[in-house]
Structure 1
Amino acid sequence: MRNILLFFILLCSSLIIHGQEVDSTQATIEEIEKSLQYSTGTIPLERGNGILQVPKGFQFLNREQSNYVLSTLWGNPEDQDIIGMLVPEGKGVLHANSWAFTISYDAMGYVEDKDAQEINYDEMLAETKKDLASENENRKAAGYGSVELIGWASKPYYDDSKKVLHWAKEISFQDDSLNTLNYNLRVLGRRGIYLINAVAAIDQLPEVEKSIDPIIASVNFKEGDRYADYVDGDEVASWTVGSLVAGKILAKAGFFAVLLKFWKVIAVACVGGFSFIWKKITGRSRKEEEELAIEPVAGEDKPLQDLEDSNKNG
């Protein structure tokens, strides 16, 4: 986190010196927003044999554009599992209070839900906090700040009729004044699950919660791949409903939310002047930095594979 903050402080300073870049911030943002091609209506999902009916008040970005937003604009590694994003209308991806739902698919198999009504989520929360406390010792030893699980922002709930699991965690990153919202939805199917994650800050929880029901209703498996279509002999996932909730604490949404705070700086830097500014700050080109194996933004806390696992499991 310290490296990220230092980079953005230096970048801001450079932009102030180069007043032309600062003056054109709004024009840059508008140019980027206009370049995105949002969709509404009924959209076949690329994976999982599902259909998305874009809910009222939202607009959809496809896989390619979603990776552009998550990677180029928000500074995260590309995610090959992403199918798309649902962005609230009237905000866009570079709005001061931007947030979104990401959609991906995991062909993990049929997730058994026999344990769904028997789980003590308070005990699970306590155990997760203990696990995280132990993990923080390793983080400190590696030179990173600690992460604290504050509690359930929304207690886990499994809707047996819809075969949808949802829960939300409130997470605090050391030296970060605004807590992160980690809101997860899992739509269960015959051969896998759709993962829908909110990319938001904790103070946006009320707005996110208002959208949960329409978001859940918007994603459905086609006939033949619905949860009820399971037959003996189908692949059964190693994860149950309970283990999905108990998965790793550091989900990608946490890193996305942190990066959202720097949206203006990223917006200006990502078009045209970025390479020039980067070289001014570091004395090296971006390519030279990459060759020196500078650690990627999200990798400050976890390697990419662990982040992908975290996105799937909690």
Structure 2
Amino acid sequence: MVRSNIHMVCSSAAQGGFGMIRRHIGLLFLLLGLMVGGPVSPSMADEVKPAALPWIMGPTDAKLGDQALLKLPKGYQFLGAQETQQLLKQMGNFPSGSELGLITATGEGEEWFMVVRYIDAGYVKDDEAANWDADALMAAIKEGTDEDNERRQAQGFPPLVIRGWEETPHYDKAANKVVWAISAQERDSVGVNYNTLALGRQGYLSMNMVGSLEHLAVLKPHVGLLLANVEFVEGKRYTDFNSTTDKVAAVGLSALIAGAAVKSGLLAKLWAFIIPLVMAGKKLLMLAVIALGGLAAKYLKKKPHAEQPGGGGGLSS
């Protein structure tokens, strides 16, 4: 009963427009409070007031901070840095400040979104990419998730199970870009997380796409196109690295993929696995902040009536 009510809330929020969102979120908070056994203040729901989103429509060039440029194709829309961080806050998430934008498609049935972040970690060496052991990397990912599960279970939440690679990591040395995909399961809900990294002189861009496993074949072309359309600006490129003056990252590519960099504050592992499961609409026990984060995917499916000027990421001049 509770599960169907949550699904109804998410669906009606997607169909009823932004004017109804506040009421839906209030009900969702109430349902979640009953599920997790904790009190929920009505004022918490009142604080969440999503507004119309100032999408930048493709085709255009969208700035990713002062680091890179995204050639946004037709059929895609981009939300700038400031608006992305604000949206994440409204949905109950905790943006790190590294978010540069959010991308989604405007077509029917597109149930995914991609968050773009820039991590100022320094120059990430790629010399180990030629010797990757996919099995060892997956073992490290599962080990890290097991540690997280101990904390989740202590708080009364079911564990996450990493199913395995949906696409093993591969590195394009000419473009200095990495792609991999992992599927994860919680109870009967299965999601996929598509990860990409674009390496630069002073850090890296993380383009993280979340969606359901059943839509994997649809997600893959989007990932390839968007990653190919991102380029660092002159002076910020990987090949611009100066070994005498530039900072070198404390971790390499393997550590980033395996999630070991979480301990260094470079990645947020749970984001990669929880959001797609929420999008599947089959959750029973979930923190309010996570459930509201899942609602973001529903909001992003709303099509804008007209092109609006963006902020944060902005149009290139």
Asked whether the equivalents of residues 116 and 206 of structure 2 are also in contact (C-alpha less than 8 Å), the reply is yes
Aligned to 2:220: 209
Question: For residues 68 and 182 of structure 2, what CA distance do their matches in structure 1 show?
Answer: 27
- Letter of the 2:278 partner, please give it: L
Tell whether the 8 Å contact from 1:181 to 1:205 is kept in structure 2 after alignment: yes
Contact 1:149 1:171 in 2 (8 A): yes
Find the residue that maps to 1:257 and give its secondary structure: helix
Tell me the equivalent position of 2:17. 28
Change (3 A) 1:25 1:61: closer
Q: CA deviation at 1:43?
A: 1.7
- Tell me the distance in 1 between the aligned counterparts of 2:242 and 2:103: 32
SS in 1 for 2:248: coil
Per the normalisation by structure 2, the TM-score is 0.68
Which structure 2 residues correspond to residues 43-82 of structure 1 after superposition, within 5 A? 43-47=62-66, 49-72=67-90, 74-82=91-99
Deviation at residue 159 of structure 1 after TM alignment: 0.7
- What CA distance in whole angstroms lies between the structure 2 residues aligned with 1:138 and 1:37? 38
Aligned residue among 229, 248, 251 for 2:270: 251
Q: Quote how far apart the aligned CAs of 1:75 are.
A: 4.0
CA distance in 2, matches of 1:50, 1:260: 29
1: distance between equivalents of 2:276 and 2:146?
Answer: 22
SS at match of 1:235: coil
Of residues 32, 35, 42, the one that matches 2:61 is: 42
Aligned to 1:223: 234
Shift of 1:153: 1.2
Greater RCO (CA < 8 Å, at least 6 residues apart): 2
SS at match of 1:145: coil
**Is it true that 1:83 corresponds to 2:72 in the alignment?**
no
Matches within 5 A, 1:186-205: 186-205=197-216
Partner amino acid, structure 2, of 1:246: A
Q: Which runs of 5+ in 1 are unaligned?
A: 16-21, 264-294, 301-314
Q: 1:26, CA displacement in angstroms?
A: 3.1
Q: Report if aligned partners of 2:145, 2:160 keep a CA contact under 8 Å in 1.
A: yes
1:167 paired residue among 155, 160, 180: 180
Q: Does the 8 Å CA contact 1:101/1:199 hold for their aligned counterparts?
A: yes
State the 1:11 CA deviation.
6.8
CA distance in 2, matches of 1:226, 1:132: 33
Aligned ranges 1:231-270 → 2 under 5 Å: 231-232=242-243, 233-247=245-259, 250-261=269-280
With normalisation by structure 1, the TM-score equals 0.69
The answer to whether the 8 A contact 2:278-2:291 is kept is: no
Residue of structure 1 equivalent to 2:135: 122
Q: How many residues align?
A: 249
- Once the two structures are TM-superposed, the CA of residue 89 in structure 1 deviates from its matched residue by 1.5
Change (3 A) 1:130 1:61: closer
| Structure 2 SS opposite 1:133 | helix
Give the match's secondary structure for 2:189. coil
Structure 1 residue 258: deviation in Å? 3.2
- Unaligned 5+ runs, structure 2: 22-49, 261-267, 293-317
Structure 2 CA distance for partners of 1:187 and 1:25, relative to 1, 3 Å: closer
Following superposition, the deviation at residue 257 of structure 1 comes to 2.1
Letter in 2 for 1:26: Q
What is the root-mean-square deviation in Å for CA atoms of aligned residues?
A: 3.3
In the alignment, residue 149 of structure 2 is paired with which amino acid? N
With 218-227 and 30-39 compared, the bigger mean Cα shift is at 30-39
Q: Distance in 2 between matches of 1:128 and 1:253?
A: 12
Cα distance in structure 1, aligned partners of 2:15 and 2:148: 41
What secondary structure does 1:113 align onto?
coil
**Aligned to 2:130, what secondary structure does the other structure show?**
coil
Give the % identical residues.
26
1:71 deviates by 3.8
In structure 2, relative to structure 1, the CA distance for the partners of 1:30 and 1:202 (3 Å cut) is farther
- Please state whether the residue corresponding to 1:179 is helix, strand or coil: strand
